[in-house]
Amino acid sequence: MRLLDTVRFAAGAALGAPLRTALMALAMAIGVAAVVILTALGDGARRYVVGEFNSLGSNLVIVLPGRTETGGLGIGGLSATTPRDLTLEDAAALLRAPGVVRIAPLVVGDAEISTAGRLRSVFVVGTHADFRQVRQVNVAQGRFLPDEGLRHGGNWAVIGATLREQMFGAAPALGAHLRIGDRRFRVIGVLEASGQGLGMDMDELVLIPAPVAQAMFDTNTLFRILVEARDRNAIPTVKREIERILRARHDGESDVTLLTQDAVLGTFDRILSALTLAVAGIGAISLAVAGILVMNVMLVAVAQRTSEIGLLKALGASAAIIRRSFLVEAALLSLAGAAGGLLIGYAGAAALRVALPDLPADPPAWAVLAGLATALITGIVFGVLPARRAARLDPVEALAKRH
Amino acid sequence: MAQVELAGIERIFHLGDAEVHALRAIDLTIEAGEYVAVMGPSGSGKSTLLNLLGLLDLPDQGTYRLEGRDVTSLGPDQQAAVRSGRIGFVFQSFHLISRLSAAENIALPMTLAGIPPETRDARVRQALIDFGLDARADHRPDQLSGGQRQRVAIARATIMQPAILLADEPTGNLDRATGHEVTRLLEDLNTRGTTLIVVTHDPAMGERARRRVLMEDGAIRRDERPTPP
């Protein structure tokens, strides 16, 4: 039997039972649509996170005290010496490294703040004027911390948007006095509302000059140093320079960890890609369920068309022809379902994009291809058993069966 | 060499513990171009014999030579090829595929055999004219009368120009007049050289056959051959 004739015969047989065919195609369509929409969601989330990270500026190197680099314990990791603290002097030294544009030291701690009878505990970040460019934060009112060098600072405070709301309400915040711990500060700026970033809520913190924060928390160490490289290509050089400078300053010990946005980004990328694969797998389960439906429906088809199969055998059809005809029918049903599923999936992804404009929920090409291939393979694999059953029917008994 | 040579054919069906001897010690020789009516009461083994002749069933013992070739030892695919090229079936209940048009039903054996569409179309067109169905080519079986359906079935059975036409109660579902019409059609084919083997209950049809094989309990009781003129 010619391939085209087989396809036409199988298509005719499938259309001969429209309800059965439609239901099965629908089951397959739901499976494929699930894969398309779930992967669109997963991949959209990945691209959203990657995009957000990129918008933070990818030229950033973060210096942490202590050697906590992943990748196993190096010789340094086994040394008994406790790591030296990072200091403002270290930060100032880094500024001299080639390729470094700006740095922002970070001193952090919790403190009570109060004004006009309102009291609450806040997250205080001591930093430098360059923090604004390094972290790309915008000031909504007033101005950011003035550049007074790394070692000096006045009692100025820049506060987050939510904090302004809570502490001042409708009253003007700019120029107002704020008690932080046991010191009095003047509010010179309010940040734009921006939400979460790098593990701190920018809307609920107070920024003050780093030396003031060190004095307030009675410490001379830094939580981290943010270093901005000239551009992305300068990052390897900058990392090497930071290592060299800090080793020289720390008696020849490499006792800092350097994080780059790329590394953080890579981790997130990997996690979210794995997540996308996982949801694709969940979608594939529904395809497997659809496959079992395919098998069920094809078994019913074999039972209903028993006398037809007997006739085909009497007319000289070999077992191979009958097997192929039923397999092609299962494959056609799966393909039709998959095509419908693609339509539903793309429509669903488009609806997601409308509902969540921030999320670039486009189904990735690999997922679409994988969904189609899985549908087709499922249809054929689960079509094998019914097709073999049809081909093995005894022609005499099959012919004797009434329609 | 006879066209059909059956020797020592036994066919036993197992129904639970019981054994049914459907055919016993059948020896039968049929020459090309013969017109044979196989007659006998229900359960006498007529249909089993016909299925065996059409290679739909295999004997438990004995040999079946078709055109000199032992076909009982052939593999299933080779048997399918023999059915496709040498044997045509006509059934009591027509066995047309309801979703296919008359023309498509007639073309089916050629489609299965992989004959190219151009050849198929030409032969189907000729068959539709020969069987008076040219106005019914695109009708589906449920739009045809009983007689028309059986004519479609006969056209289908003969479209591959088989050597042997096997008919199982071909007039059983038809009224008398239509039955006659179908019988004449089959006899015409026989006159043009096709061996015709008919299983029938109908004594009138049996009378018309030149040779009658009477069966009882799976064995041939009588074989009434025409006396040479």
B16-39 pLDDT tens trace: 888 889 999 999 999 999 999 999
Is residue A258 included in any domain, yes or no?
no
The encoded tokens of residue A82 equal 């406790």
Task: Please name the member of A9, A15, A307 whose beta carbon is closest to the beta carbon of B95.
Answer: A307
Asked whether residue A226 falls in the same domain as residue A88, the answer is yes
Is residue A76 included in any domain, yes or no?
no
Quick: pLDDT tens for A366-398: 888 888 888 888 888 999 999 999 999 999 999
Tell me how many residue pairs between chain A and chain B have CB atoms under 8 A apart.
Answer: 72
Q: What is the pLDDT of residue A278?
A: 87
Is residue A68 included in any domain, yes or no?
no
**A403/B112 Cβ within 8 A:** no
Is residue A22 included in any domain, yes or no?
yes
Q: What is the pLDDT of residue A378?
A: 86
Distances (CA, A) of B100 to A4, A323, B110, B151: 16, 20, 14, 15
Q: What is the pLDDT of residue A76?
A: 45
Task: Please name the member of B57, B111, B156 whose beta carbon is closest to the beta carbon of A1.
Answer: B111
Number of structural domains (chain B) is 1
Find the helix or strand (DSSP H, E) in which A9 lies.
helix A3-15
Quick: pLDDT tens for A227-268: 988 887 788 888 888 989 988 888 887 888 888 877 777 788
Task: Give the mean model confidence (pLDDT) for residues B54-76.
Answer: 93
The percentage of chain A sitting over the pLDDT mark of 70, rounded to a whole number, equals 93
Instruction: Respond yes or no on whether ipTM tops 0.90.
Output: yes
- Average model confidence (pLDDT) across chain A: 85
Q: Higher pLDDT residue, B206 or A71?
A: B206
How far, in Å, CA of B170 to CA of B184, rounded? 12
- Structure confidence at residue A73 as a pLDDT band (50, 70, 90): very low
Partners of residue A392 in chain B, C-beta under 8 Å: none
Q: What is the CATH number of the domain that holds B177?
A: 3.40.50.300
Asked whether residue A170 falls in the same domain as residue A298, the answer is no
Asked whether residue A234 falls in the same domain as residue A290, the answer is no
**B109/A396 Cβ within 8 A:** no
Is residue A120 included in any domain, yes or no?
yes
Q: Tell me how close the Cα of B95 comes to any Cα of chain A, in angstroms.
A: 7
Q: Report which listed range, A62-66, A245-249, B92-96, is most confident.
A: B92-96
Q: What is the pLDDT of residue B6?
A: 96
| Domain C-terminal end among A191, A220, A252 | A252
Does the structure show a pLDDT above 70 at A197? no
**Is A320 touching B (CB cutoff 8 A)?**
yes
Task: Give the mean model confidence (pLDDT) for residues A172-194.
Answer: 89
Q: Report which listed range, A130-144, A194-208, A310-324, is most confident.
A: A310-324
Asked whether residue A193 falls in the same domain as residue A314, the answer is no
Task: Give the mean model confidence (pLDDT) for residues B167-189.
Answer: 92
**Is A15 touching B (CB cutoff 8 A)?**
yes
How far, in Å, CA of A104 to CA of A91, rounded? 8
Q: Higher pLDDT residue, B148 or A280?
A: B148
| Domain C-terminal end among A230, A252, A274 | A252
Asked whether residue A133 falls in the same domain as residue A214, the answer is yes
Asked whether residue A225 falls in the same domain as residue A334, the answer is no
**Which three-class secondary structure state does DSSP give residue B171?**
coil
Q: Count CB neighbours of B33 within 10 A.
A: 14
Asked whether residue A107 falls in the same domain as residue A9, the answer is no
| Domain C-terminal end among A217, A252, A287 | A252
Partners of residue A315 in chain B, C-beta under 8 Å: 83-84, 89, 108-109, 112, 156
Q: Which of A8, A306, A307, A315 to mutate to test the interface with B (most CBs of B within 10 A)?
A: A315
How far, in Å, CA of A3 to CA of B79, rounded? 22
**A399/B54 Cβ within 8 A:** no
Task: Give the mean model confidence (pLDDT) for residues B2-28.
Answer: 93
Distance from CA of residue B29 to its chain's centroid?
Answer: 16
Asked whether residue A280 falls in the same domain as residue A391, the answer is yes
Is residue A78 included in any domain, yes or no?
no
CA-based nearest residue to A300, from A30, A6, A23, A28: A23
Quick: pLDDT tens for A340-353: 999 999 999 999 88
**Is B80 touching A (CB cutoff 8 A)?**
yes
Asked whether residue A38 falls in the same domain as residue A9, the answer is yes
Asked whether residue A168 falls in the same domain as residue A304, the answer is no
**Is B81 touching A (CB cutoff 8 A)?**
yes
Asked whether residue A16 falls in the same domain as residue A124, the answer is no
**B77/A320 Cβ within 8 A:** yes
Task: Give the mean model confidence (pLDDT) for residues B182-197.
Answer: 94
Is residue B38 included in any domain, yes or no?
yes
Task: Please name the member of A2, A16, A314 whose beta carbon is closest to the beta carbon of B99.
Answer: A16
Q: What is the pLDDT of residue A124?
A: 92
Does the structure show a pLDDT above 80 at A75? no
Host domain of residue A89 = 84-252
Quick: pLDDT tens for B111-127: 999 999 999 999 999 99
In the block, tokens 């429906």 appear at: A297
Task: Please name the member of B57, B77, B87 whose beta carbon is closest to the beta carbon of A318.
Answer: B77
Host domain of residue B199 = 4-94+162-224
Task: Please name the member of B51, B113, B160 whose beta carbon is closest to the beta carbon of A396.
Answer: B51
Q: What is the pLDDT of residue A277?
A: 85
Distances (CA, A) of A202 to A183, A198, A260, A334, A347: 22, 9, 20, 51, 37
- Structure confidence at residue A5 as a pLDDT band (50, 70, 90): very high
Asked whether residue A194 falls in the same domain as residue A103, the answer is yes
Task: Please name the member of B56, B57, B111 whose beta carbon is closest to the beta carbon of A5.
Answer: B111
Q: What is the pLDDT of residue B227?
A: 61
- Closest chain A residue to B88, measured at CA: A315
Q: What is the pLDDT of residue A82?
A: 60
Number of structural domains (chain A) is 2
